[in-house]
Structure 1
Amino acid sequence: MRNARSRTLIAAAALVAGLLGAGGSAAGAGGAPALAPAAAPQSEVEADTCDTAASLPPRQEAGAKIRKIRERGAVVVGIDQSAYNWGYRNPLTGAIEGFDIDLAHAVAKSVLGDPAKIVLRTVSTAHRIDAVKNGEVDMVIRAMTITCERKKDVAFSVPYFRVSQRVVVPKSRHVRTVDEAMRGKRVCAALNSSSHTELKANSRGAAEIRTPDNQLDCLVLMELGEVDATLTDSSLAAAQVAQDPTVELAGESFQYTYMGVAMNQNDTDLVAWVNQVLVDWKANGWQSSYDTWLKASMGAPDPYRP
């Protein structure tokens, strides 16, 4: 059996060496160790200043963007390759795999008739919106939460997952509450992530806030003893706990929201197309991907269905 902590260290070494790049596609099972499931989101998503679940009606008509993708012969998708079970590079095979990657292949199959006709381009958390706006990718499928502020810059699909904010800490701290985990402590959140935004609005007494480009960097910083806690969304928090048995979830869930696919606001035909893909995938595909990648670390799927 592969050692979970070694997977983290292999990924960390690749980050330091600057080796994490574009490319690859994958399939296969993610053997995450079983553990107590993350606290489930509430039955209602907390109110925001807009309807974060709203998007264009699902429709599959080949407009300008779909025609461009078909002429190119591949869908270019911005992804993560350091989020265990969501989008990560398998250190043994080199393949990029996970729940988000399954969705990316479903989009490619729908648009081009072949799930392999895809370019997986790694983008950092901090660069996701710019990558969409600048046309570097056709879309971002990267555990990206939908917020009203982000909807000013990019278009989102309908939600495909429900999440909340969670705190991850080293087990050696023996922490029981969010306040205990964060007050007076060094807290990490990925730059420009929803967790970073949450900390700017309410630091919860953190003595210092570190904001690296990616959430895996926060896990590495905790392992090195350079930060005391990580704030991230519940999906990635569960991934960190599954990846490294020396850390655990602390305290309650808060700030409930959704995840969606981010696209350029001008690409309305693509947004509507992806929404139809999600209708079909939720009916046939979402559950099997959840069982493969997330069930062992997150438990029953119902709390996370949008």
Structure 2
Amino acid sequence: MKLNRSKIRPLLLLGLMVTLLTVLSGCGDNLAQQDVMARVKRTNHITWGVKNDTRLFGLMNIKTGEIEGFDVDIATAISQEIFGKDVDVKFVPVTSNTRLPLLKNGNIDALAATMTITPERKKEIMFSDTYFNAGQAIMVKKGSKIKSVKDLTSGTKVLGLQGSNSVANIKKYAPDAKVLQLADTAQAFTALKSGQGDAMTSDNGILYGLNRDDPNYQVVGGTFTNEPYGIGMNKGQEKFAKAVNQALKKIEADGTYQKIVDKWFSKVAGFDGSVIK
């Protein structure tokens, strides 16, 4: 029986693709399950997921090509406290929607990405102790009739971020408002400025950072939730989590933490210092 080579080749190609995907998937799982403490000590390299579109916390500097912000400095300080000043710290941009998949797939070792500690997320990953106490708020254009979350009625549209708990919160505190979810902070703020929504909701620190870019907008009504940020790590990384918590205590005790806070928030008009750890 003569085989039809034109039919065999696609089948072989398909088989190779399936095998490759299986191998890559397995590699991701193995990397996520590796002991972070042991691997970083061996390689002297650690990778963090951080935001790159969120002023004050993580924003790409277009001149240097580096991501800068509070979360970046905290991640660096923690890494150096655990592994030494010479450790190679790499930063990978994440969004609220991609940060958990990237962590669980082993693409990054830890997250410092304005991520609130919640019971739901604790089922998927491990968290450090709180390193920043934020609170959800809303931002509107100056002159808006909206003064607080109570003014978000059935005739209003609120802009939020995909993958963030702020969307669920706004549905709880303003159940009649329509919610439009955007991929990241920059897109949500652009949508607000273009009139696609009446208000934008996120953590107050994030909104104050946007307010620095454009003073025609303002944060109103104070915070209506408690949003404690934690460092995210994969399940099974107990040694790493313990080391991170010890490092947080150390940098707070020696003044490093406060220096980072002052660097990023001391000149933010209207920012409530009580939300700082």
Residue identity opposite 1:233 in structure 2 = D
CA contact (8 A) 2:79 2:89 kept: yes
| Separation of aligned partners in 2, 1:247 and 1:181 | 17
| Separation of aligned partners in 2, 1:162 and 1:188 | 22
Q: Using the TM superposition, give the Cα deviation of residue 216 of structure 1 relative to its aligned residue in structure 2, in angstroms.
A: 2.3
Residue identity opposite 1:293 in structure 2 = W
1:48-87 CA distance string (max 9 Å, x none)? xxxxxxxxxxxxxxx9321112223211000001110111
Does residue 81 (structure 1) correspond to residue 52 (structure 2)? The answer is yes
| Aligned residue in 1 for 2:207 | 237
Q: Using the TM superposition, give the Cα deviation of residue 186 of structure 1 relative to its aligned residue in structure 2, in angstroms.
A: 1.4
Q: Using the TM superposition, give the Cα deviation of residue 298 of structure 1 relative to its aligned residue in structure 2, in angstroms.
A: 5.9
| Separation of aligned partners in 2, 1:173 and 1:261 | 36
CA contact (8 A) 2:233 2:241 kept: yes
Pairing partner for 1:215 from 185, 188, 191: 185
Over aligned residues, Cα RMSD in angstroms? Answer: 2.0
Does residue 171 (structure 1) correspond to residue 171 (structure 2)? The answer is no
CA contact (8 A) 2:44 2:87 kept: no
Residue identity opposite 2:51 in structure 1 = D
| Separation of aligned partners in 2, 1:115 and 1:295 | 29
| Aligned residue in 1 for 2:14 | none
CA contact (8 A) 2:140 2:198 kept: yes
| Separation of aligned partners in 1, 2:153 and 2:117 | 25
More helix by share: 2
Higher relative contact order (CA 8 A, sep 6+): 1
Aligned length: 243
1:286 aligned counterpart, secondary structure: helix
| Aligned residue in 2 for 1:186 | 157
Does residue 287 (structure 1) correspond to residue 222 (structure 2)? The answer is no
1:173-226 CA distance string (max 9 Å, x none)? 2532222255421111111212012134344421x2111121222111111111
CA contact (8 A) 1:70 1:111 kept: no
CA contact (8 A) 1:156 1:262 kept: yes
Q: Using the TM superposition, give the Cα deviation of residue 156 of structure 1 relative to its aligned residue in structure 2, in angstroms.
A: 0.4
Q: What is the 5 A alignment of 1:23-38?
A: none
| Separation of aligned partners in 1, 2:49 and 2:41 | 18
Residue identity opposite 2:264 in structure 1 = W
Pairing partner for 1:64 from 26, 29, 35: 35
Residue identity opposite 1:245 in structure 2 = P
Q: What is the 5 A alignment of 1:7-26?
A: none
| Aligned residue in 2 for 1:57 | none
Identify unmatched segments of 5+ residues in structure 2.
Answer: 1-33
1:138-173 CA distance string (max 9 Å, x none)? 110011111111111110000011111100111142
Q: Larger radius of gyration, structure 1 or 2?
A: 2
Normalising by structure 1, we get a TM-score of: 0.74
Identify unmatched segments of 5+ residues in structure 1.
Answer: 1-62
| Separation of aligned partners in 2, 1:144 and 1:110 | 22
| Aligned residue in 2 for 1:258 | 228
2:108 aligned counterpart, secondary structure: coil
| Separation of aligned partners in 2, 1:279 and 1:230 | 34
Q: CA, structure 1 residues 94+172, in 2 after alignment: closer, same or farther (shift >3 Å)? A: farther
Does residue 268 (structure 1) correspond to residue 232 (structure 2)? The answer is no
1:83-120 CA distance string (max 9 Å, x none)? 10111012333321111111111122123323661110
